[in-house]
């Protein structure tokens, strides 16, 4: 697999390696997001002395023997390790690692550390004791990785964990941003890359499934019968959650368009009083987000919250693959594909394009390329009030941006601009006359001259898909 981007993560690893004394780095995130690839690429490109071991879902004694073999091979690379060789305990293993790091900087990677905790629940306490008494005074950089984000947070990073406050740094690795996709698909148009991103997001292993030399529609159709795409949704939830069926029901309800807590509970068949727990966990894991209107100054207190799926693959799976699973498992891909093909443009426009437009506003504001620096970026809705796709606001400066996103095959026309200008009066906080208003029009297919003239006298940004694509690559 070709390695892409991750310069910030590489810089973090460089910084940790350059420090003195023992350092512990915790790297976690959903499966296939590229945790192992990041560490391996960093080690290979820097050529640091290292010992790399991957845990498996097996017994504690089998894992101890496996890690013992890895250490023995590191010590004696030219000698075969006897099959039955193993150190007597985890304490001896970590003592041996400390000894190896006494005289020179050594990187030790325990990949999928959560599998080890599953097999040996006492391991965090054992490691904490040895870290405090010996390892942190060695020249060791210890890297712990895990796909079970919930377990990493609970057993390694949480206040009650024996390892609490031992990690020098931790990172919840996120999927790659849209701006990296030209590296994968240099010959695709911005529209084609947006379609791919809507289906698989920025997860490197999913992106590798897409053949850059084949048409985008052909690739999407192929994804429908791919085993990884069919199976990963269940595996992702099982990896991280204790009650995957209930969590799956919550995610499926949101993907079907039910975004308020009461609606989600009803559609998922759960008690209204209990669904908040599931949503809270899904938020913490980065699978779901809770949005409120961008004009709300205290989001945590708002009762207007709506939930959305932030994991692009899960959103695509539960919107299109899960409802057609029985058909797909019979090999009737064309039947499912024709339905998906009909609804895919709306799916891309409603979700990915609007999200990319909001990301563009956020990043442009941070770079100082907007009339003001937004404090919040989101959208707007309300009972009896119009919806606005993109809203950015800074109350201190009395500045607001209102944007409309159009994923249509024809350019934005005059009536779209007039409609946005008319809705603005119901969105801008009172008193309206004290606010500086910037309008933004985002379009897949450009703008007519009449549309531009309709905005005369107003501060307005005109952002085509191609311009948005270029800007998101640069930031």
3-class SS string, the chain: CCCCCCHHHHHHHHHHHHCCCCEEEEEECCCCCCHHHHHHHHHHHHCCCEEEEECCCCCHHHHHHHHHHHHHHHHCCCCCCCCCCCCCCHHHHHHHHHHHCCCCCEEEEEECHHHHHHHCCCHHHHHHHHHHHCHHHCCEEEEEEECCHHHHHHHHHCCCCCCCCCCCEEEECCCCCHHHHHHHCCCCCHHHHHHHHHHHCCCHHHHCCCCCCCCHHHHHHHHCCCHHHHHHHHHHHHHHCCCHHHHHHHHHHHHCCCCCHHHHHHHHCCCHHHHHHHHHHHHHCCCEEEECCCCCCCHHHCCCCEEEECCHHHHHHHHHHHHHHHHHHCCCHHHHHHHHHHHHHHHHHHHHHHHHHHHHHHHHHHCCCCCCCCCEEEEEEECCEEEEEEEEEECCCCEEEEEEEECCCCCECHHHHHHHHHHHCCCCCCCHHHCEEEEEEEECCCECHHHHHHCCCCEEEEEEHHHHHHHHHHC
Q: What is the pTM of this model?
A: 0.92
From first to last of its 475 residues, what are the pLDDT tens digits of the chain?
567 889 999 999 999 999 989 999 999 998 899 999 999 999 999 999 999 999 999 999 999 999 999 999 999 999 999 999 999 999 999 999 999 999 899 999 999 999 999 999 999 999 999 999 999 999 999 999 998 888 898 899 999 999 999 999 999 999 999 999 999 999 999 999 999 999 999 999 999 999 999 999 999 999 998 999 999 998 888 877 767 889 999 999 999 999 999 999 999 999 988 899 899 989 988 899 999 999 998 888 888 999 999 999 999 999 999 999 999 999 899 989 998 999 999 999 999 999 999 999 999 999 999 999 999 999 999 888 899 999 999 999 999 999 999 999 999 999 999 999 999 989 999 888 899 999 999 999 999 999 999 999 999 999 999 999 999 996 5
Domain ranges of the chain: 7-172, 179-350, 352-474
As a CATH number, domain 352-474 is 3.40.1350.10
Domain 7-172 has CATH 2.60.120.280: no
- Looking at CATH, the fold of the domain delimited by 179-350 is given as Arc Repressor Mutant, subunit A (1.10.10)
């Amino acid at each position: 697999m070709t390695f892409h981007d991750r310069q910030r993560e590489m810089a973090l690893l460089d910084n940790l390696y350059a420090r003195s004394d023992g350092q512990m780095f915790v790297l976690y995130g959903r499966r296939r997001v590229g945790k192992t690839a990041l560490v391996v690429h960093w080690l290979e490109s820097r050529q640091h002395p290292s010992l790399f071991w991957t845990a498996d879902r097996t017994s504690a004694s089998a894992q101890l023997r496996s890690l013992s073999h890895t250490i023995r091979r590191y010590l004696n690379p030219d000698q075969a390790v006897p099959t039955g060789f193993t150190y007597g305990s985890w304490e001896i293993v970590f003592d041996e690692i400390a000894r190896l790091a006494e005289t020179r900087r050594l990187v030790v990677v325990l990949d999928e550390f959560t599998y080890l905790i599953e097999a040996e629940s006492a391991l965090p306490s054992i490691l904490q004791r040895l870290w405090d008494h010996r390892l942190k005074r060695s020249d060791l950089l210890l890297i712990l990785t895990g796909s079970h984000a919930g377990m990493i947070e609970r057993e390694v990073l949480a206040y009650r964990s024996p390892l609490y406050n031992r990690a020098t740094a931790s990172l919840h690795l996120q999927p790659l941003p849209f701006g990296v996709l030209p590296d994968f698909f240099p010959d695709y148009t911005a529209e084609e890359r947006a379609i791919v991103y809507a289906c698989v997001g920025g997860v490197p292993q999913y992106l590798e499934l897409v053949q850059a030399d084949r048409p985008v529609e052909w690739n999407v159709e192929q994804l429908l019968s791919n085993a990884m795409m069919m199976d990963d949704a269940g595996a992702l939830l099982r990896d991280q959650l204790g009650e995957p069926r209930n969590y799956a029901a919550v995610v499926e309800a949101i993907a079907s368009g039910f975004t308020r807590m009461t609606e989600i509970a009803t559609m998922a068949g759960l008690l209204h009083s209990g669904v908040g727990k599931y949503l809270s966990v899904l938020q913490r894991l980065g699978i779901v987000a809770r949005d409120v209107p961008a004009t709300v100054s205290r989001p945590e207190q708002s009762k207007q919250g709506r939930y959305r799926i932030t994991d692009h693959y899960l959103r695509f799976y539960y919107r299109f693959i899960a409802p057609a699973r029985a058909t797909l498992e019979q090999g009737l891909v064309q039947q499912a594909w024709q339905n998906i093909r009909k609804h895919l443009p709306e799916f891309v426009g409603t979700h990915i394009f609007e999200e990319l437009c909001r990301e563009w506003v956020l990043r442009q504001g941070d770079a100082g390329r907007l009339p003001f620096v937004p404090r919040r970026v989101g959208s707007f809705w309300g009972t009896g009030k119009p919806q606005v796709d993109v809203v950015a606001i800074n109350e201190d400066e009395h500045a607001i941006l209102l944007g409309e996103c159009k994923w249509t095959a024809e350019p934005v026309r005059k009536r779209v601009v007039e409609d946005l200008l008319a809705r603005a009066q119901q969105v801008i906080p009172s008193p309206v006359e004290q606010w500086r208003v910037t309008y933004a029009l985002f379009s897949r297919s450009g703008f007519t001259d009449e549309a531009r003239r309709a905005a005369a006298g107003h501060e307005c940004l005109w952002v085509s898909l191609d311009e948005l694509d270029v800007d998101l690559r640069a930031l």
